[in-house]
Structure 1
């Protein structure tokens, strides 16, 4: 194995710890790892699995990210640029938050929330199969159970690095799976069939979600909801965490609804229309509010520090 090091430059302000937790969602997440200092993850390239370790140097207002890639020398040489691009997208490094912060200044409640998590950039899943895998796995289940299913899926089908760290399965990996195998991992027959079918369509090139990148929301939602096993919640979840459309607050997300209701001290539960009505005031950044409410709940559980992270002197 060999190691190569390079630097990525996020748009300030940026806090890696907050973004890592927005990806992790639960401390049991075995794919996106955070040790209090570095974000680690195995990433599948065309040839091998490479381990990426990302650490922040400098404070939130003047951040750099030191990236260490470890793997076979041949794989590192060909994958460095590709992995840099994937990390930049998945960690939201290019997002300029100034307009969102200006909006928050006009709303005292939002300002308080945003100030606690200043530097949170919006994350995205690294691949379409990972986005679909998360959407399908977490449908109608608690997040704890969904993360557990994803861990088992990764452990069973993800390729391992030379250190044994597993990457999320590729579409080709899951296309070869059988429904009975996924049922052994805890997936329902329905979810197993849906996930394998989607993986096979991605692997065959029959499903091209990249082609929808420039389409309007209504078109993308219609195309996604036409997929077997993908309903409105999954489609909006994919719009936010897959396509990176930050004006989307998944209105059918029961957990997010409850977070929103508690944050606003509303006496009654919210429905889909109620969520959309409330979040209109934060357009076009309702999705950023979604991520900040997620971090707020993680901070309440003691997993995330809402105060500024200590400056580090290396990665």
Structure 2
């Protein structure tokens, strides 16, 4: 059985606890107690979270765990010497250590991220880099792995990190089954942006939102203005005017952003040739996709794929 030590401290961010569900569901999928979770704190006993209620914890002891995970807090503050000492020992004794959201600050404060790649919530990433210049902060990743140290972005990204840990232990099929039980997208790749194209567009009306969802679900199609207008139950002229008013973009530009996001996800998965990615995301051919990547990111898709592969190889070293 694999043991998970889940480290909390006063005012820890309650959403981080959601990551525990991935290990619970893995036990159900596997039909046996594959994981045992222990919630820990420096002193033990009740520890209050960001919503003000407390959970019971066990005190740090001499025992360590296969994986030690630290949750962050909404307001970053200095850690106690006892917490930092425990994490330094855990980094040696545990197979993996991880930080969810601003838990990366705690790992950095303990010196565990020096010279390593790491990520955190986008709103805290630049401050993390300023405070700990020895850390190679990747500020727009869902999660990051460098050796035996794992870090994730904020909020729901902790679930992505936990499912990645499950996949690391028991393979992709188990992780898929866990994702289905959690009713979440199968583990977003670590390098996927913390920002969603749909969230960036932020349409106000249900009609425009409905058209965007239709586009995202049918990227292989041509997705003309007429088709999107029909999904919104508007005339093409009404739709184009309303779309620009609400998003600041033309429908064509918004569709391109959705296609770029989907193409990057497929590149992160690492299983598909460029021709297949271009076809499945509606670019039709590699050259059209290449031009879109140059406009959006200033580099061709091949360079992005090479960076992903290099990061994956580094994580395995």
TM range (shorter): under 0.3
Could you tell me the TM-score, scaled by structure 2's length? Answer: 0.26
Structure with higher Rg: it is 2
Could you tell me the TM-score, scaled by structure 1's length? Answer: 0.26
